[in-house]
Amino acid sequence: MPARKASNRPKALLPLDLLRGFLIGSAALVPGVSGGTIALVTGVYDQLIDSVAHVVKAAKTVITGPNRWRGAIAELRRTDWLLVIPVLLGMLTAVLSIAGVMEAFVTDNPELARGLFFGLVAASIAVPLRMLPERTGRQPLLLGLLAFLAAAALAFWMTGLAGGSNIEDPPLIAVFFVASIAICALVVPGVSGSFFLLAVGLYATTLRAVDDRDLVYIAVFMLGAILGLALFVNILRYLLHNHRWWTLVVMAGLMLGSLRALWPWQSSAEAGDLLAPFEPIGAPVVLAVIGAAIVVVLIVVESTFASKTAKDHLDEQ
């Protein structure tokens, strides 16, 4: 089968894709918010998962064959580099530029930070539900509802596990394996890689390492992340392509359950017991509305652009 080249993505989208990457990277730094959620909202989730899967397959082909170099090049040509490169650059810019600021914001203003992202994630639940394909007899509505609720309950329970004390000088082997798991959480909407780091006590340590340019720590973390992504992304791609309805339902449930970590009023900054609203009340509520409004605007913009792209494609035929 001849290699299919990546779609001819308009270069005019480069600034938008850089912004998408910046938003994904920024979200990945916040406990309780998944970078995958932002990728879904901004309309590039499927394309990114497919492209990363092609890169992973290219690397595997170089190692195991057959047709090592020719096969690897064929996979790389299937990758949508005009999307991947600007998104990665945007993510890298966000991580390197605002890691320290984000840590300070989340730590020093927990109610405000959680309020903003509560609204963002709550509105984002609509995104995977809007992407659901037409239901068939193989997707009973009752079972789908049960899967949604089970995923929500699982995420609610998992987010209640955070609050581990910060580890100042972790062994590098631990950093490697923690990163391999955290990166899997990053690409699943509703599952926060940063929240996992918080749970195991490496959230502040990792952000501080990035802010201080601790190259050894960063290199070990990146190697672990690459390994985790390589092992996980093809599983996720398979589920999206072959069991899309169920996968999106579970993703929506995970996003709902993750709201537990973002309830603004908790007993501590590290996702403690949920409490009734206390001061400040107005600011977290306003920020939640702003967060939800941002998602609504992104959905409208993406829907408008998708409709225009589909119309242009039909006109070209």
Q: Is the omega angle on the peptide bond into residue 280 within 30 degrees of 0, that is, cis?
A: yes
Strand, helix or coil at 7?
coil
In a domain, 222, yes or no: yes
Residue 65 counted as domain residue? no
* Amino acid of residue 213: R
Banded model confidence at residue 1, pLDDT cuts 50, 70, 90: very low
Q: With respect to residue 151, please indicate whether it lies within any of the assigned structural domains.
A: yes
Angle between helices 215-242 and 244-258 (to 10 degrees): 130
Domain of residue 287 covers 101-316
201 in any annotated domain: yes
- Residue at 243 is within a domain: yes
In a domain, 259, yes or no: yes
Average pLDDT over residues 150-161: 82
Q: In whole angstroms, give the CA distance from residue 1 to residue 21.
A: 32
Does residue 77 belong to any structural domain of this protein? no
Distant-in-sequence, close-in-space partners of 55: CB < 8 Å, separation ≥ 6: 75, 76, 79, 84
DSSP H or E run through 307: helix 282-316
pLDDT tens track for 255-301: 888 788 778 888 764 446 788 888 888 999 999 999 888 878 877 77
Count of domains for the chain: 1
Dig out the tokens for 235 from the structure: 């599983």
> Has residue 16 been placed in a domain?
no
> What pLDDT, in 10s, does the model give residues 14-44?
888 898 889 888 877 776 677 777 887 777 8
DSSP 8-class letter at 274? B
